[in-house]
Amino acid sequence: MSIFDRLFGGHHGGGHYSGGHHGGGHRDNYGGGNNSDRSQPPSVNSGIACPNCNALNSQGAKFCQQCGASLIPSGCKQCGTSLPPGAKFCSRCGTAA
């Protein structure tokens, strides 16, 4: 086999993903093919995302299970508007949280 055959897919009759001695058949593990056997990502409503580390926490959690950040909305010191967890400024008056 010439060097050109090896470089351009002539190696063992069909290239890297053909099932040759290089592990063959692992195409689905690297972004190609149908990954129907993998579990689906969690749905948006299945928990609360931490504003600090983005870890998914169970509904009703008060603190993040990964980093300990508060998941409870706080109120603005100036106007009392409810602020979502992780807010740095009030959306109503602009006061720093």
The domain in which residue 33 lies consists of 1-38
Task: Specify whether the CB–CB gap between 56 and 66 falls below 8 A.
Answer: no
Grouped pLDDT means (10 residues each) for the chain, 97 residues: 70 50 51 51 70 93 94 91 90 94
56 belongs to a structural domain = no
Q: Looking at the 3D structure of the chain, how many domains does it have?
A: 1
Please say whether the dihedral angle defined by the alpha carbons of residues 36, 38, 44 and 47, taken in this order, is positive or negative. positive
Is residue 16 a part of any domain in this protein? yes
Alpha carbons 46 and 42: distance in angstroms, whole number: 7
Whether residue 44 lies inside any domain: the answer is no
Q: What is the pLDDT of residue 15?
A: 47
